[in-house]
Amino acid sequence: MTRTQGFDTLQIHAGTAPDPATGARQVPIYQTTAYVFRDADHAARLFNLQEVGNIYSRLTNPTVSALAARIATLEGGAGAFCCSSGHAAQIMAFFPLMEPGRNVVASSRLYGGTMQQLTNTFRKFGWSAKFVDFDDMDAVKAAIDDDTRALFCESIANPGGHVTDLPAIAAIADAAGVPLVVDNTSASPWLIRPIEHGATIVVHSVTKYLTGNGTVTGGAVVDSGRFDWSASGKFPSLSQPEPAYHGLKFHEALGAMAYTFWGIAIGLRDLGMTMNPQGAHYSLMGIETLSLRMAKHVENAQKVAEWLARHPGVEAVSYAGLPTSPSHERARRLLPRGAGALFTVALKGGYDTCVKFVDSLELFSLVANLGDTRSLVIHPASTTHRQLSPEGRAAAGAADNVVRLSIGIEDAADIIADLEQALARAAG
């Protein structure tokens, strides 16, 4: 009898099996650059994509492939590939879709580094991005034109913790005949699986909750396998003959796996944004406890947010788990396990108070990261979002009086005690 395995089982077993050569139960670190071909014909078949196998570790590596398979399974995707960082994953996600002159319609609530990438780095490829409030469906529709090749958002926005209405945005993308790309870093597949809500492609900074221990820089791109790349002339990289592979039409030949294979065979081959096998090994081990960690993250975040909302030194808390949040009902509908562990706090007193506050914290670490087991803090206006205008920071939920918190899995009482003493010092 076959049965669908649960998330807790899949996060341990998906994509892996005992090593056939040694019997090793944990996935080995295949620290190798290249792989020996059986003969010249075998090599030719691999290079022609007539046979699946390992050629060179810029393209595939058994440890990295195991991680990709596990993430794809947890997200409910047809396939995935991993790369060197979350930022690399974003470029890799768009690379098969874009050409010079094309654009992406993106949410105005995004991580500051992502907005920088879409605003300035995109231009170097001849691409562009239009930033729109994704709560305004009419504005999203109006921003789409004949050159739009994707919609892009975060499931839970960084830094503000705002929850995107994925089903509504997916419906707009479907009507326009373009894919919806969703960054699911802040939520992880334990809280929400965007593909189930209409997303075509999911990207992750594996650095964050998936690994969960602050040791890895990595990214992942997951394809739903459901988009018809040949339905229009908008995606020639996937639907038209590929010169590097003797005129192979990826979608025609590879179907649901076309996007994944293109990302490896073309994207990783030419851009070289490769994940290292040791990092993949650490991420595989981290994912084994994802559900346990996320449950504790969310439990702590809810307690901390409720406490902060009552504090006299706090102007506002952005956490979607609070009834006062504009996306509270959406979070209850789309994220029944909780609204994540990332949110912002607006402090009374402005910029200087925020600086004093972050400098006074003792248990929290002041770092440019999130999703660690440890509680983390940063002041976006002076760091991650400083390149934006004041108006752009405010639109992204990173105004000068805002501090971003990533709540860890320590004892909630200790987290609150640290916040309490830091707020007292900042006010004093």
Determine the CATH number of domain 290-427: 3.90.1150.10
More confident residue, 273 or 386: 273
* Cα separation, 183 vs 300, whole angstroms: 23
pLDDT, tens digit, for every residue of 105-163?
Answer: 999 999 988 999 999 999 999 999 999 999 999 999 999 999 999 999 999 999 889 99
Q: Count other C-beta atoms under 10 Å from residue 311's C-beta.
A: 17
Tell me which residue has tokens 């593909």.
195
Tell whether the model's pLDDT for residue 193 goes beyond 80.
yes
Q: Looking at the predicted structure, is the pLDDT value of residue 1 above 60?
A: no
Question: Range(s) for CATH 3.40.640.10 in the chain?
Answer: 7-286
d(CA 193, CA 190): 7
Mean pLDDT of 218-227: 98
Listed in order, the ranges of the chain carrying CATH 3.90.1150.10 are: 290-427
**Pair of tokens at residue 202:** 């999911």
Residue 357 has a pLDDT of 96
Strand order in the sheet with 342-347: 314-317, 342-347, 402-406, 376-378, 365-366
% of the chain exceeding 70 in pLDDT: 97
Using alpha carbons, select from 68, 301, 66, 325 the residue that is nearest to residue 187: 301
Is residue 145 a contact partner of residue 46, using CB atoms and an 8 Å limit? no
Higher pLDDT, 389 or 240: 240
Tens of pLDDT, residues 370-399: 999 999 999 988 876 666 667 766 666 678
Instruction: For residue 350, name the pLDDT band (cuts at 50, 70, 90).
Output: confident
> What is the tens place of the pLDDT at every residue in 297-341?
999 999 999 999 999 999 999 999 999 999 999 999 999 999 999
Give the residue-averaged pLDDT of 67-86: 98
Model confidence, pTM = 0.95
**According to the model, what pLDDT value does residue 385 have?**
64
User: Is the pLDDT at 40 greater than 50, yes or no?
Assistant: yes
pLDDT at 384: 67
pLDDT at 236: 97
Least confident of 137-151, 191-205, 216-230, 347-361: 347-361
pLDDT computed for residue 112 by the predictor: 85
Measured between alpha carbons, how far is 401 from 381 in angstroms, rounded to an integer? 8
Cα-based distances in Å from 159 to 146, 156, 317, 331, 359: 31, 9, 12, 16, 19
Tell me yes or no: is domain 7-286 CATH 3.40.640.10. yes
Q: How high does pLDDT run on average in the chain?
A: 95
Count of other CB atoms within 10 angstroms of residue 85: 18
CB 405 within 8 A of CB 376: yes
